[in-house]
Chain A
């Protein structure tokens, strides 16, 4: 036992060895479904966007520093890794934005019925990819 909380969850098996009692059902006992995938993705996209926010600051600081520093950021963003970062950023941004609006609607007390819940989930997924595609088509056309 390393933690006082263990006193509440430790038991002995039939051979007398110490075992941890299960605390609550864990993720692996559930069948994967859209609601849980989207919930996990919301947190995951938030973490990805944190990295994206730091890239934005890097871009701004470089632009404020010198044309050379700005050129380095633009070179990185124009490389293959840069494109992967930017496309991933766009997907994460639209997903977190649309699913965030879904969360705000729940906070207001609407959309908890199971069919509504599933429909809005799929709307978020479709809208994410539609807007990502739109932004990249327009962006590359501008370029």
Chain B
């Protein structure tokens, strides 16, 4: 019994703490992972609000654009930076979101594990392919 519990018991108050002392110190709860996933999803979503609005505005101006128009657009450092930020935030947010969908609906462990790996791989590869393409055109 902890010191706090002993003191409470001596005053006639019964305190039952079901969590271990180590568990309380770690502060991660039963899920063992804390709020990292939830928090990252929010941070990326906040970043995506202005980035998405910028991209939609840019996309509207690029309707019917020639290959040369696109290369000229990507030649600007501002475009390069914002496109890379958009790709990073989008695919990180996409990985987090699709992960939850799979965790909610896929209950066969082997299939779930395979799908989670697939999502990670596709998001990582797509983000990398997009970023490299932007750098190749812009630099």
Task: Give chain B residues whose Cβ lies under 8 Å from the Cβ of A8.
Answer: none
Contact string against B for A residues 50-77, beta-carbon threshold 8 Å, 1 for contact and 0 otherwise: 1001101100110111010011000000
B126–A135 CB distance below 8 A? no
| Interface 0/1 of B41-66, CB less than 8 Å to A | 01001101100110010011101100
Contact of A125 with B by CB under 8 A: no
B61/A142 in contact, CB under 8 A? yes
Cβ 8 A contact of A47, one of B52, B98, B134? B98
- Cβ A97 vs Cβ B130 within 8 A: no
Q: Give every chain B residue within 8 A of A103 (Cβ-Cβ).
A: 45
Closest to B136 in A: A64
A139 pairs with B60, CB closer than 8 A: yes
A60 to B52, CA, bound (A): 16
What does DSSP make chain B's interface, helix, strand, loop or mixed?
A: helix
A82 CB–B CB distance under 8 Å = no
Q: Roughly how many angstroms separate A100 CA and B49 CA in the complex, as a whole number?
A: 9
Give B67 Cβ to nearest chain A Cβ, in Å.
Answer: 4
**Which residue in B56, B90, B133 is a CB contact (below 8 Å) of A64?**
B133
At the interface, yes or no: A46 with Cβ under 8 Å from chain B?
yes
B75 within 8 A of A: no
Closest to A108 in B: B42
Q: Chain A contacts of B101 at CB under 8 A?
A: 43, 46-47
Q: Is the interface of A mostly helix, strand, loop or mixed?
A: helix
Contacts of B130 in A (CB 8 A): 56-57, 60-61
Q: Does A10 contact B (CB under 8 A)?
A: no
- Please list the residues of chain B having a beta carbon within 8 angstroms of any beta carbon in chain A: 42, 45-46, 48-49, 52-53, 56, 59-61, 63-64, 67, 70-71, 74, 83, 87, 90-91, 94, 97-98, 101, 122, 126-127, 129-130, 132-134, 136-137
For the complex with contacts A47-B101, A70-B67, A143-B64, 8 further pairs of A-B residues with Cβ separation under 8 Å are: A47-B98, A50-B97, A60-B134, A67-B67, A97-B48, A135-B56, A139-B63, A143-B63
27 sampled A-B residue pairs with Cβ under 8 A: A46-B97, A53-B91, A57-B87, A57-B126, A57-B127, A57-B129, A57-B130, A60-B83, A60-B129, A60-B130, A63-B70, A63-B71, A64-B136, A64-B137, A65-B133, A90-B56, A93-B56, A100-B45, A100-B48, A100-B49, A101-B49, A135-B60, A138-B60, A139-B59, A139-B63, A140-B63, A142-B61
